[in-house]
Structures are given as C-alpha cells and as structure tokens.
Amino acid sequence: MMTLEDLIQSLTPEVYENLKNAVALGKWPNGVALKDGQRELCLEAILHYEVTHDVPMEQRVGFVAGACSSGNVDKIGRDDDDVQPLTIQ
C-alpha cells in the first residue's frame, strides 16, 4: 500500500509543475475543470512536495517576500492601525 509520503516522493518535477498550474488555473492541462476538493488535494500535494524536495522558500507556492518574519507582519510603510492580516482565498 502506497502512503502519502511514497506518493509525494514519486512525483516528478513535471507532475509537480502540472499540479501547480492546475491549482492556479482551476483546470487540468487538458482543459477539464478541477472538481470539488481537487484543488485542495493538489495544493496539499504541492506543499508536501516542496517540503520533502527542499524547494527553496522563495520558490514555494504562496511565498510573499517580506510579508511575514517569525510570525510578525512586515508593515511595509503603514501605520499600526492600517495593518491587516494577509488572507488567501
């Protein structure tokens, strides 16, 4: 029986890129739309792949340069009252 870890270790860089594109575009390379739940599963596989294959932090999905550092939000020139948490939808 194959585990999630086995599956992630077996992903090729090409499959990883296809998963990233599918998540970004909402459709598979053949044009078929992702079904309910597939985007989340693909994103989970992408994140696991990036960690297990030591993808540099700045190349990982969702990386925002200077956005967070040790849990502190970088204000980027704003007053304290104007700082809003970063949310991803």
* Tens-digit pLDDT profile for residues 24-71: 999 999 999 999 899 998 998 999 899 888 899 888 888 888 765 555
Give the distance, in angstroms, between the CA of residue 54 and the centroid of all CA atoms in the same chain.
14
On whether the CB atoms of residues 68 and 74 are closer than 8 A, the answer is yes
pTM over 0.85: no
Residue 88: both structure tokens together: 């991803």
* Tens-digit pLDDT profile for residues 63-84: 888 765 555 444 444 445 555 5
